[in-house]
Amino acid sequence: MTTASSGSTLLAGVSAFLTGAGTDERRHYRVLYGAVMIFFALFLGVPLALIFGQSILEKGTLTAANWLSVVMRPGFWSMMANSFAVSTAAAAVATLLGFFAAYGLVISQLPAWVKKAVRILMLLPLFLPSITYGFAVIYSFGRMGLISQFFGPPPFSIYGFWGLLIADVAYLLPPVFLIISNAFIYVDPRYAIVSRVMGDGFLRRFWTSALRPVAGACVSAFMLGFFLAFTDFGIPISIAGQYDVVATELYSTMMGAVPDFGRGAVVAISMMVPAVGAVALLRWSEKLNFRSTDIVRPMLMPSAARDGAFLLFYAGLAAVLLCIFAVMFIVPFVENWPYKPNFTIQHFIDILGEDDIGGIYLRSIGVAAASAAIGTFISFAAALIQARSKLPRVCRSAMDGLAMMTSTLPGMVIGVGFLFAFSGTILQNTIAILILANLVHFFASPYLMGTAALSRMNAGWETTGLLMGDTWIQTIRRVVLPNARATLIEMFELYFINSMVTISAVVFLCGTSTMLLTTKIKEFSYYERFDAIFVLSLLVFVTNVAAKLILDKLAECSRTDQKAGSTRS
């Protein structure tokens, strides 16, 4: 084939793609692809471009002054070192605890109710805003804290590194546990039996049958934990004290008495540095992953020592977590902790009776529900493109690229980008900008969930529908969507809960008329209204737990109906 003919073929292909020539299915996928890409170009690409532009421009002139003023400041490097130190330590501790928590559920013969209780306990912190963790640690380990009342105050100050470490570990445990626990599903327990028969020692048997099969997941969990701790805003703003970290520096630079957008852009970019390393390490960790096929769950050998050790481990872990979060359920019902420990509901009456609290609560639910509904549609459309379309590979890979970008992009950076992009527009100080920020921020997990579900479905449904005279839309509506109903509910649930607890992105975007529960908690922290903080945290917690119970039940019913339909057919 000549160069001229190759060029004409390429031009013809591009023309066909742009004009929509081809099947009905391909035309609809082109429309979906174009809509998703335009959305992320406007609400991800433009904000990021403006952040980079703001860091190198001053009054329309290229300059390195912003960078020099930040990186040459003595406190900048100590701030980065602090962030790396506490994030690394918290991720390491959380990964270690998460590994043994997940391993014990697989290897022990503890009663089923104990294992179920452990799973529930490990996931409960997911339903709270991260800003609550810091105040919970203060009221647990502070000089007059709940734990300090029984065991005395700790031998270290909770304001700074140690307080951040404790709060971050509690914050990271649920996602880290989920990753490692999911990895153990694909580990064949017979490895341990074979290793024992081969006469391997304890350490070699532990490495072969437990640690090596989930090494990739442990690396992934560690990197996720590090990234979450490094970029979190809620915990540092509540308990960091004089221990400067990058999140508090970005907030004070952007929202201080004299905002400096140029320097703020530089700090925002520095917050993205770990993302580069995270992506590289995650790709490397994929080489460590392997899955067993034809997994059999043999009867485990009884061992009272093993089961007793894990029971003690779970009891200790539960005691620490419950002590930290128990204050959230105690302080609001006490007249004045710890001086007047008399039961009262007056705090609830006073706080929930304030003029704006009811409106803020309903607004928070509305923002979370709208984010979940629209976000589920966008992420499912992207999942359809990746998993079921016949578009060029570069188009399908673009969806994975968007998921990777949004999953490694700090919420605070999204907030700063939106602040630069939409200040002075009709979106400023509106509910819409909060919803848009959530759509970008939480895209990755629902998208991956949708992609996994769609990939498992029969690849020939669309072709069968076409042969029967159905359009692509009819096939999606009648066949694909009913089979994906449970997954769609779970995607909605992810978006809803994340939108209820987020603070990092919306803290830059909320105004007095668009306040959410999490930003109201932050406002109360300035006035040290800790009873109000815990009342609102309980409100978020109860709302999220109720949403999860309802949505999980709907998803379960949907799966039951789907199985019943499959059986009848």
Q: What is the pLDDT of residue 104?
A: 87
Examine the pLDDT at 134 and tell me if it is beyond 60.
yes
Examine the pLDDT at 466 and tell me if it is beyond 90.
no
Q: Nearest-CA neighbor of 158 among 173, 180, 183, 141?
A: 141
CB 164 within 8 A of CB 83: no
Q: Radius of gyration over alpha carbons of the chain, in Å?
A: 26
pTM for the full predicted model = 0.87
* Structure confidence by residue, pLDDT tens digits, 368-392: 999 999 999 999 999 999 988 888 8
CA atoms of 168 and 101, how far apart (whole Å): 17
- State the alpha helices, DSSP H only, in 485-529: 485-501, 517-526
Q: What is the pLDDT of residue 569?
A: 52
In this prediction, residue 437 has a pLDDT band, given cuts at 50, 70 and 90, of very high
Query: Which of residues 307 and 422 earns the better pLDDT score?
Result: 422
CA atoms of 415 and 261, how far apart (whole Å): 13
Q: Which domains does the chain have, with CATH numbers?
A: 22-54+352-564 (1.10.3720.10), 80-342 (1.10.3720.10)
List phi, psi (to 5°) of 342: -95, 140
Q: What is the pLDDT of residue 196?
A: 64
Q: Respond yes or no on whether the N-terminal peptide bond of residue 302 is cis (omega within 30° of 0).
A: no
What share of the chain has pLDDT > 90, as a percent? 41
CA atoms of 266 and 270, how far apart (whole Å): 6
What kind and span of H or E run contains 100? helix 74-107
Residues 6+ apart with CB under 8 A from 232: 130, 168, 171, 247, 504
Torsion of CA 384, 386, 387, 390, to 10 degrees: 90
C-beta atoms surrounding 164 within 10 Å: 32
Q: Nearest-CA neighbor of 396 among 22, 26, 23?
A: 26
CA atoms of 550 and 556, how far apart (whole Å): 10
In this prediction, residue 181 has a pLDDT band, given cuts at 50, 70 and 90, of confident
**Angle in degrees, CA 382, 435, 505, rounded to 5:** 100
* Structure confidence by residue, pLDDT tens digits, 7-26: 444 344 444 444 443 466 77
**What is the token pair recorded at 529?**
């209204």
Q: What is the pLDDT of residue 8?
A: 47
CA atoms of 436 and 482, how far apart (whole Å): 27
Examine the pLDDT at 102 and tell me if it is beyond 60.
yes
